[in-house]
Structure 1
């Protein structure tokens, strides 16, 4: 199978409580570390790359993001998906071409603009459909639903957006920051894989899987935990 075929297959026929866990590398060393631990695929977080490159989340220039993804892909040797935010203002054809040139097998695309402004869902779905047409079966499209991230509490709004994005050709739906109790309904209503974001103080991946999540990602969480551990090491060296 090709890389994208392998990546797509990893999302299907998973037992409850056994979601696909996709660690988020921010550079080649972290990618190699996750692969050496046995993970079959990775998902690059835009926020993690931004921190590693010295930018605020959402401010990484597109050229630097694609270059970072390419470096991680070369180091990993396993399928790598990339968070490409809201597409950096690129036309669908260019966005797809640049993702493929970087070696990615998939991409996250969010439905809000910088500043937390939700996009009009039907217009966003039309854009996603154009991305799907340009990508064909060469990329796995994970459509992020940002209603909960920006303060929404109505699961029906998230489901409405998810259904539009599924109809546009999304392979997976990512209702970031959704309360765990909503995953069962989101999975049942959309009938596609559902991505859950997890934090160290939240439900475990297995618990999220039993609730309906198909895959688990961590955003910049693993980078921040690594930096916390590095801080402990630094203090142990005699720092202030």
Structure 2
């Protein structure tokens, strides 16, 4: 998808100071064995509900944001629409907001950072899937990308909290990769270590689901580890015991809300048919 031209709104000094403070708060919330739990939001209403429930930060989910805008996940939505949705989220809450910006939409690091900050982001997810090819980015080149994003954020005066998503397990699930678990863990560790060294604050090996794998990743990475919580996966208490620092729900709440609404609409339609004919 061609990247549309966009001029981010320059930050005022007050806005820069607020985002820098939010980033510091968000970073400090990543504590092993006391993980930051993020029920991912996709619009202003859901973001407010997350804050009202007492959660100390709000994260967006690209999957739900894209679908709510009428697009598929995977950088098919225009970046301007995705970041405008992020801006509506940040305006709706007073807590720090971290934005799932997929792999960065092909934007140069300084522009990506400027647009994230303009959207009110104190943190971001950057994944190592290459959406142009459908495969994984070469780890060295992705690490360079993270270094550029870190440098751009530092130059802007906001220490953006970078959550580096490692898509090894996700790609294996999607492609039917039959490599043994230890080999996948080894690749995830190699990528995660490179990303932390490049300036990432946290590593997100998405779809790493069983306790043994999660434990090996936590032990093998010298930095916070983010895990996707799934209904059929380890309990939050187990993830805490394993030393996880951050837990995301991804599009889970979006899907649950959709399933509930689908059932309500079917019941309503049936009532209409019975009443009206």
Return the TM-score normalized by structure 1: 0.94
2:29 maps to which residue? 10
Q: Distance in 1 between matches of 2:190 and 2:246?
A: 21
Separation in 2, partners of 1:51, 1:124? 26
Q: Deviations over 1:162-197 (max 9, x none)?
A: 110010010000001113322222222222110001
Which residue of structure 1 lines up, in the alignment, with residue 262 of structure 2? 231
Report the Cα distance in structure 1 between the residues aligned to 2:170 and 2:269, rounded to whole angstroms: 40
Alignment of 1:15-94 (within 5 A): 16=33, 18-58=34-74, 59-94=76-111
Which residue of the partner structure matches residue 159 of structure 2? 138
Deviations 1:84-138 (A, max 9, x none): 1111000010011100000000000011112531111011111111111111252
Which residue number corresponds to residue 169 of structure 1? 199
Q: Deviations over 1:46-91 (max 9, x none)?
A: 0010111111111111000110000001112211101111110000
Cα distance in 2, alignment partners of residues 183 and 163 from structure 1: 15
- Which runs of no fewer than 5 residues in structure 2 stay unpaired? 1-19
Contact 1:19 1:206 in 2 (8 A): no
Deviates more, 1:63-72 or 1:221-230: 221-230
Aligned residue in 2 for 1:185: 216
Write the distance in 2 (CA, Å) between the matches of 1:123 and 1:2: 30
Counterpart CA distance in 1 for 2:143 and 2:242 is 26
DSSP 3-state at the match of 2:257: helix
Q: Given that residues 35 and 246 in structure 2 are in contact (C-alpha distance below 8 angstroms), is that contact kept between their aligned partners in structure 1?
A: yes
CA contact (8 A) 1:194 1:214 kept: yes
Mapped partners of 1:123, 1:224: distance in 2: 33
Residue aligned with 1:82, SS: strand
Equivalent residue pairs, number: 237
Q: TM-score, normalised by structure 2?
A: 0.82
CA RMSD of aligned residues (A): 1.6
- Report which of the two structures shows the higher radius of gyration computed on alpha carbons: 2
Counterpart in the other structure of 2:113: 96
Structure 1: gaps of 5 or more residues = none
Match of 2:95, SS state, is: coil
On the 8 A contact 2:168/2:188 being kept in 1, the answer is yes
Shift of 1:238: 4.2
Shift, 1:233, TM fit:
2.5
